[in-house]
Structure 1
């Protein structure tokens, strides 16, 4: 009897009791993106919080009229949190950060202030998840990148995240970098973080208005290059096909393609899948000796030169050409990163995994040791598909 009474009392208490931190939806603002930059002259951080505008959906549903999908509030502070709290002067509702989908870092901040301390505030605060993408505003201010209203995805954070996923799956020059991955790389002495850049194309006075979304040739954000870091600071950019070298070495390529010169004027195209690499590293006379072996499956997907793929010698020719193109691109990418001096490939981590005792000798100045590395690249491409047509069009 006592047990039944206790159970009944517990249920009634749960039904009648409330949550102490309960808030009505019309009392909060949902932050979808955060932008952070540094103002050297003022020695302050500039923080932009992009807030979802629920009235944009309500007005569209009720009357067919449109409102801007997001609202941007910005403030300055000696610390990031001071700037965030200063935003409260401009907002009538308490910000909720659990739905943040993107962190935008200013190029000035990335170059002048080490990211080692920037992510500290996010990792300490449980209100913000650390499994969200991070990008760098390249050649543009953080505000310009965040507040550009595009046609398909009017919320720029959603647009940028979608483009990163799209280009990483199809092109392979960029890979989504989550905050926790950047933190892990910063915490490692044998790897530097790599963070994608984003810029704006066709920018105009109406880029931050709904008018931009109604244009055929509207302004749009574009994934632009891979940021290379050393000691937490941005030291340069890796652009184009050489940027694939990072993804290939880390075995992150889903699919990509290469353009193969078939004569002095034309190029043929080959799709690459199952791109796998193996890295061997050792130290000889205080110099890292790195051997990279790459294997891939090739598919001919576009031909501009007369070629008969019924012949084995034609396939062999295309395989060799693809191998040379990939090798040259890899060597260029590795060479450029070595000039910047930051180990974006994680060769130090790979050395630690196979020989931690040797790595410990170079741990304190691994980036300088990496700049001296001698790297050899070997590539093996096997063509197993030439498409529906064996012979190209005669011309």
Structure 2
């Protein structure tokens, strides 16, 4: 009986005691996005915290008018941690970082400091998740990118994340990079991370105000290029169709379009889906020999050259042309990345998977070895759909 009473007493005590770290909502600030940059002249890190503004929701509910959805607080420090703690001097509530939806890195920081040290603080601190997207502010300051009030999604973090997902699903030049994926690439000696860039377009004095959201031609954040790294530092950008080469080789393409030249000035358009690639790699005379085979299904989705798809020779012509366009795009992408010197494709990882003993010989200097690689690309496209119209227009 005494044992039962003792157990009952413990349960009641736990229920009445509550949580020691419990805080009221009006005592905390929810951080929805973080920006980190480096100031070379001051040799300090610049941290921007974007905080959700609950009073804006309350104001909109009560009066129908809308306030600014987020508040930005920034500070500097010799370390990222010091800068974050310095922010406390400007905020009346304790910041909660468990809801951070996006981390934006300044281009200066990405070029001058290794990502190893940038992500160290995020990985060590259990209060911050590492399964969140990371992106680089390209040609603009982190502050300008973060605090633009967009027309559709007034919280910029939500807007940028939505754009990454949207363009990766439809265009294929970019793929969402989570912080844990970037950390994994940094930890691998056979792969360098790739991180998307974001720029600000149509910037004006109203960009960081609600006035911007009420303009037809407002300023907006735009996903802009893929950042290429070598030894953890940003060394350049891959833009346009060649950037698709990374997604294709890593089998990350959902769908993409290919512009098919049909005469001296016009193009037709083909959608490619089920894009699958297979990479074979071996070493010969200290040179990586890489063979890439790509298979895809094609769908004609726009014709400006009045082709007749009732004819088999027309389909064969378009398949061959699409294969050449994709092949050229991949070869250009690989060539540009080789010049920058960082293995963004993970060829080193692929060699390790098939022959770890051989890879160990080149592990310490793989990026240099990768620049010598001889790459062969073969593409097979099979058209299985030409849309609702098969015969050309009568002109």
In the TM superposition, residue 324 of structure 1 has moved relative to its aligned partner by: 0.4
Is 1:382 aligned with 2:382? yes
SS in 2 for 1:119: helix
Is 1:62 aligned with 2:62? yes
Give 1:257's aligned residue. Answer: 257
* Residues 103-182 of structure 1 mapped to structure 2, 5 A cutoff: 103-182=103-182
* Residues 209-288 of structure 1 mapped to structure 2, 5 A cutoff: 209-288=209-288
Give 2:80's aligned residue. Answer: 80
Q: Unpaired segments of 5 or more residues in structure 2?
A: none
Give 1:356's aligned residue. Answer: 356
What whole-Å deviation, never above 9, does each CA across 1:192-224 have from its counterpart, x for those lacking one? 000000001110000000000001110000000
Comparing 219-228 with 65-74, which one deviates more in the overlay? 65-74
Taking the aligned partners of 1:382 and 1:151, their CA distance within structure 2 comes to 41
Give 2:71's aligned residue. Answer: 71
* Residues 316-395 of structure 1 mapped to structure 2, 5 A cutoff: 316-395=316-395
Taking the aligned partners of 1:271 and 1:394, their CA distance within structure 2 comes to 25
Taking the aligned partners of 1:367 and 1:139, their CA distance within structure 2 comes to 26
What whole-Å deviation, never above 9, does each CA across 1:209-244 have from its counterpart, x for those lacking one? 000000111000000000000000000000000000
Give 2:306's aligned residue. Answer: 306
Deviation >3 Å, runs of 4+:
1-4
Taking the aligned partners of 1:167 and 1:207, their CA distance within structure 2 comes to 23
Taking the aligned partners of 2:194 and 2:163, their CA distance within structure 1 comes to 17
In the TM superposition, residue 93 of structure 1 has moved relative to its aligned partner by: 0.3
Taking the aligned partners of 1:220 and 1:298, their CA distance within structure 2 comes to 33
Taking the aligned partners of 1:66 and 1:148, their CA distance within structure 2 comes to 16
TM-score (norm: length of structure 1): 0.99
Taking the aligned partners of 2:267 and 2:300, their CA distance within structure 1 comes to 12
Taking the aligned partners of 1:274 and 1:222, their CA distance within structure 2 comes to 27
Taking the aligned partners of 2:39 and 2:11, their CA distance within structure 1 comes to 55
Taking the aligned partners of 2:393 and 2:159, their CA distance within structure 1 comes to 39
Give 2:96's aligned residue. Answer: 96
In the TM superposition, residue 393 of structure 1 has moved relative to its aligned partner by: 1.6
In the TM superposition, residue 357 of structure 1 has moved relative to its aligned partner by: 0.7
What whole-Å deviation, never above 9, does each CA across 1:20-63 have from its counterpart, x for those lacking one? 10000000000001100000000000000000000110000011
RMSD between aligned alpha carbons? 0.8
Give 2:42's aligned residue. Answer: 42
Taking the aligned partners of 1:75 and 1:275, their CA distance within structure 2 comes to 45
Is 1:199 aligned with 2:199? yes
Taking the aligned partners of 1:290 and 1:2, their CA distance within structure 2 comes to 75
SS in 1 for 2:95: strand
Taking the aligned partners of 2:268 and 2:392, their CA distance within structure 1 comes to 11
SS in 1 for 2:38: strand
What whole-Å deviation, never above 9, does each CA across 1:53-91 have from its counterpart, x for those lacking one? 001100000111221100000000000000000000000
In the TM superposition, residue 308 of structure 1 has moved relative to its aligned partner by: 1.2
Taking the aligned partners of 1:160 and 1:375, their CA distance within structure 2 comes to 35
Taking the aligned partners of 2:371 and 2:315, their CA distance within structure 1 comes to 38
Taking the aligned partners of 2:74 and 2:50, their CA distance within structure 1 comes to 9
SS in 1 for 2:246: helix
In the TM superposition, residue 144 of structure 1 has moved relative to its aligned partner by: 0.2
Give 1:24's aligned residue. Answer: 24
SS in 2 for 1:195: strand
In the TM superposition, residue 14 of structure 1 has moved relative to its aligned partner by: 2.7
SS in 1 for 2:34: strand
Give 1:297's aligned residue. Answer: 297
Taking the aligned partners of 2:17 and 2:8, their CA distance within structure 1 comes to 14
